[in-house]
Structure 1
């Protein structure tokens, strides 16, 4: 979820809460207070959302054609069933009876409208490329086709027909991603700011957006009209925003929070709490990295980019800074991602693209060669951007020291609030910038196609024709062995050209009170509270 990762990762998210504390609620008082270090969600309009914290709220107030189970497999959502044609290019979804929170029926037209709205170039959706799988989807987005030529059609109120450009094995799972969630056509057309406030927000999910005090908190309320409401036990989820990890942890310890993640944990306490068993650790399918802006000097030079990458001691980062069981990354696609060719872990199917330890001599040599190619004897001032967070700050400071030690380069650090940080990346207003990425669906492509030339997620402004061709070929075949080979070749090019510096693969940490039951942590690194419940202590 592309996700740029919001809080600690492009992106990780859990909820923080208020409303009187959460540790002593009886089983019939199902109010959950959830802790996370998170700021204001930039947007709760699925066409405009681009980060994991917005996405996590969206997955609870809206529901797509399918849901994803804890293992990453699609299961019925608003679509109760579907059929796929023999050639894999046509999918017909059959919708169940469901209603919007304003009482309107959820129809196939709502999905058709929502998807074409994402593709409409006037919308400016950063995730529009996730619908380029549709016949004429990319062409419509580029102004080369009409909306009625796009391969999604509401045959009737309960039938949605999808025509794909080529077989896409993961497309059904992709329909659970927040960009492909439906919107109420009449509501959106009547009020362009419908998603800006709780009193105008209309959803179809397990919860409604009951309260949204901007820059303060969100409160979610059980949607009694949700089609699967009998499975929803929580009456309310409190989601206050809090930037301070120490504050969130103290609230948890004092019984005012029920649930939290890594963003509720002071970095310095993680090793101790893990050793004591006070937090649950899980491997997280995510990559932490830094991206270069190839349109800004000096990182338009590959040798200089690689010099900065080789000067990083990733092993030291995970052992001395993050200290949470993370693994130094050996590529861009993270641990836990299955290889579509054989189901084995992707990272074990290729060599080590980058070493865990720094290579200072090689780094210095490449820096000198790159500067000579550029005709300079001194680097311009270099600034590293990160979003405000104590964990990101510690990592940035460690890298700053490594670059000084191994390259004798001074790097200025600059932080900004999450929404501003995202805007700076989108506008190309950076030289180097932190980036985390969680999967939009369970396939290596969710990491690889974001660096094609036409992808709006390609904040590095990197262009490579061979890479683009490999990704296009991988998207044009249903042969999983062929797809895998093409994607491995693409990742090798990505790591050779180094528009990004992968640093480590994530872990997730979960703080959970004993009375909190059945919260589902999914393979795509999202949290599902739809069937969670509380018991008496």
Structure 2
């Protein structure tokens, strides 16, 4: 999952003018006259528009954040990123932990209709019927028949979910699954109102009035490519906990525009590009955070040259990743030579996954050139011209230009062309596998290494490069049902070795960091490492 998109360039003055004229949003520094209270209006930025708010189709961090704040599922994440009951008031398990029965609290949609168990059954089965991007999460959760449905061996109506009555939902798993409760916080597991979805048809969830809400906030405005606005949902079951009245979100693609809005107190939180880190690193409101997202190169495995693993290994080794993070990015990102980032998940004996598995495909430029020469001979090539698919963002362009220089300098006969397109188009190009290399990224969906390792299953929605190793697919299936945690962890380590040591299937580049400015008065904004990035339910603005 892509959790965030780095900012891209616009003309500063024009962009600011468009933002302020196109979105009639208020400022959190204004005072409410009554009782002289601080205006509970939060102003933030996002680097791109919302592609869709259909929870069965959404597959990016921006949509997930919006869905997390306007809707409610059985569980949501708390301040410790742990699952807490949301619409579920009770969660009972059978003795073998295979059958899970949920009792729903009284809650209603923004059209006044009650949220029912049937809404969950409809939405989950719709995910499977449409083979949605995150349908594989139902397999990861171990829901009965999910894998068979994805393999077209069973019908979506046979998914192990059943509305017993309006307030009682029963979910049956293939086997006990320790990840199940955690996964229920993910937006793909949200409910949907069938009548409303079917009335809207292909226009469902494409505008603010094209989606229903049952969460802490309502989406009251959505001006495409400019921004959107939340308002507190007074009909939310836990509205007493919601302190913010409004949240204004500006689509800001240029980092200078974002900092200008911050300096003029139009926004309260802004992400900095690498070019601005040195300018603000001594600011009292400056923060740097290590994240769990990774940035990597996808290879089209059908390409006549990039399909060769020696070529892929050479490309991996030819890039100075420390120079990329320390000189180009400077935002807290760190070099990565694996697919599971550091500090993300520990073994049963409390050792970090990255530390245990070490680094893959590291070497000198000379070693990269040896692999390159070998790969060229194997493919019958002397010179190679390929392109790299990137989003049209400022930092992605900088990263791509750095990679271009590294590869062309270090690999004789290599020419790399940069093709920058809007973020959503970059994703579509990846899905169609109509690229040579693609500068891609992934954020974890849940707290387990499998969120990085089962991406590479044959025909998986996250694969997007026609990679296939039958042994990897087999081991993933075994790890999903392994109850011995120590044995399972060894399987997880082996999966990464297959992907990188044996196949050099991708080229990891770096583990993301983030540099931000956030005003001290902003309290309680939860930033999650998995699933939706932000929760605003408990946020507030102080004096």
Same fold (TM over 0.5): yes
In the alignment, which residue of structure 1 is the partner of 2:6?
A: 8
Question: Contact 1:517 / 1:535 at 8 angstroms: preserved in 2?
Answer: yes
In the alignment, which residue of structure 1 is the partner of 2:14?
A: none
1:93 and 1:167 map into 2 onto residues whose CA distance is 16
Offset of residue 412 of structure 1: 0.5
Q: Which structure 2 residue ranges, 5 or more long, are not aligned? A: 8-18
Question: Contact 1:23 / 1:258 at 8 angstroms: preserved in 2?
Answer: no
Offset of residue 30 of structure 1: 1.4
1:493 to 463, 474, 498: 498
SS in structure 2 opposite 1:410?
A: strand
Task: Spell out the pairing of 1:117-266 with structure 2 (5 A cutoff).
Answer: 117-120=126-129, 123-132=130-139, 133-192=142-201, 193-260=203-270, 262=271, 265-266=272-273
SS in structure 2 opposite 1:400?
A: helix
In the alignment, which residue of structure 2 is the partner of 1:12?
A: none
SS in structure 2 opposite 1:80?
A: strand
Question: Contact 1:339 / 1:444 at 8 angstroms: preserved in 2?
Answer: no
SS in structure 1 opposite 2:281?
A: helix
In the alignment, which residue of structure 2 is the partner of 1:21?
A: 27
Greater displacement, 330-339 / 520-529: 520-529
Q: Is 1:301 aligned with 2:313?
A: no
Question: Contact 1:302 / 1:370 at 8 angstroms: preserved in 2?
Answer: yes
Aligned residues: 520
Q: Which structure 1 residue ranges, 5 or more long, are not aligned? A: 10-14
1:501 and 1:434 map into 2 onto residues whose CA distance is 10
Offset of residue 519 of structure 1: 1.1
1:270 to 255, 272, 277: 277
2:124 and 2:31 map into 1 onto residues whose CA distance is 41
Q: Is 1:505 aligned with 2:503?
A: no
In the alignment, which residue of structure 1 is the partner of 2:409?
A: 405
Task: Spell out the pairing of 1:426-465 with structure 2 (5 A cutoff).
Answer: 426-465=431-470
Deviations for 1:450-497, whole angstroms, at most 9, x for unmatched residues?
111131110121100111111111101222111111010001111121
2:110 and 2:56 map into 1 onto residues whose CA distance is 19
Offset of residue 343 of structure 1: 4.3
Deviations for 1:219-276, whole angstroms, at most 9, x for unmatched residues?
111111111100011111111212111101110011111122x3xx132121342344
Question: Contact 1:166 / 1:477 at 8 angstroms: preserved in 2?
Answer: no
Task: Spell out the pairing of 1:320-335 with structure 2 (5 A cutoff).
Answer: 320-335=327-342
Greater displacement, 305-314 / 26-35: 26-35
Q: Is 1:83 aligned with 2:92?
A: yes
Question: Contact 2:285 / 2:519 at 8 angstroms: preserved in 1?
Answer: no
SS in structure 2 opposite 1:468?
A: helix
1:200 and 1:376 map into 2 onto residues whose CA distance is 53
SS in structure 1 opposite 2:338?
A: coil
CA RMSD of aligned residues (A): 1.9
Offset of residue 198 of structure 1: 1.1
Normalised TM-score (structure 2): 0.92
SS in structure 2 opposite 1:45?
A: coil
In the alignment, which residue of structure 2 is the partner of 1:338?
A: 345
Question: Contact 1:304 / 1:366 at 8 angstroms: preserved in 2?
Answer: yes
SS in structure 2 opposite 1:227?
A: coil
Offset of residue 93 of structure 1: 1.8
Distance change >3 Å, CA 404–CA 277, structure 1 → 2: farther
Distance change >3 Å, CA 336–CA 95, structure 1 → 2: farther
Question: Contact 1:6 / 1:418 at 8 angstroms: preserved in 2?
Answer: no
Offset of residue 278 of structure 1: 3.4
Question: Contact 2:525 / 2:539 at 8 angstroms: preserved in 1?
Answer: yes
Q: Is 1:514 aligned with 2:520?
A: yes
1:24 and 1:466 map into 2 onto residues whose CA distance is 60
Question: Contact 2:297 / 2:508 at 8 angstroms: preserved in 1?
Answer: yes
Offset of residue 140 of structure 1: 2.2
SS in structure 2 opposite 1:349?
A: helix
1:383 to 383, 387, 397: 387
Question: Contact 2:131 / 2:150 at 8 angstroms: preserved in 1?
Answer: no
Deviations for 1:50-101, whole angstroms, at most 9, x for unmatched residues?
1111111111111111011233311111112312333332222221111111
2:24 and 2:527 map into 1 onto residues whose CA distance is 22
SS in structure 1 opposite 2:81?
A: coil
1:245 and 1:61 map into 2 onto residues whose CA distance is 27
Greater displacement, 135-144 / 184-193: 135-144
